[in-house]
């Protein structure tokens, strides 16, 4: 791996970490597109790398900060963790069965839908 690639990966990781701590996003919104368009990963490789990042407790310091301020309900997190494990397994099986071009389109459509909904349909 070249020095330039390492620097790019560090920048991607830093940007994802900052956004994760700032607004609770990072993996899918920053890491996946950056790996695809900056480093030429295919969609499966990029999603795999993003998921691999979730395995260690990389966001532990952000979680501690939010917990100290009373913004984390451990019951909610625990329930979602159980469902996330099952969902991640099922979703990864389905994702790996799709061709690259279709998977990339599914990813892009999801980002568009979420972005449009957040931009124009604010919950009051």
Q: Give residue-wise pLDDT tens across range 43-98.
A: 889 888 888 887 667 788 888 888 999 998 889 888 888 888 888 889 888 989 99
Note the pTM of the prediction, 2 decimals. Answer: 0.68
Mean pLDDT across 29-42: 89
Helix H or strand E encompassing 109: helix 100-120
> Structure tokens of 100?
């690259």
**Mean per-residue pLDDT over the chain, rounded:** 85
Query: Would you call 99 helix, strand, or coil by DSSP?
Result: coil
Predicted local distance difference test score (pLDDT) of residue 56: 67
Gap between the terminal Cα atoms of the chain = 49
> What percent of the chain is modeled with pLDDT above 90?
22
Rounded Cα distance between 19 and 23, Å, is 6
Burial 1-38 (b: 16+ CB within 10 A, else e): eeeeeeeebeebbeebbebbeeeeebbbbbbbbbbbee
pLDDT at 105 over 70: yes
């Amino acid at each position: 791996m070249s020095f330039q690639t390492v620097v790019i990966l560090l920048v991607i990781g830093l940007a994802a970490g900052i956004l994760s701590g700032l607004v609770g996003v990072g993996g899918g919104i920053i890491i996946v597109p950056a790996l695809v368009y900056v480093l030429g990963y295919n969609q499966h490789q990029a999603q795999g790398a993003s998921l691999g990042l979730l395995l260690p407790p990389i966001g532990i310091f952000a979680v501690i900060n939010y917990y100290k301020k009373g913004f984390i309900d451990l019951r909610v997190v625990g329930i979602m963790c159980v469902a996330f494990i099952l969902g991640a397994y099922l979703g990864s099986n389905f994702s790996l069965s799709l061709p690259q071009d279709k998977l990339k389109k599914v990813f892009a459509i999801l980002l568009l839908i979420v972005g449009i909904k957040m931009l124009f349909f604010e919950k009051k």
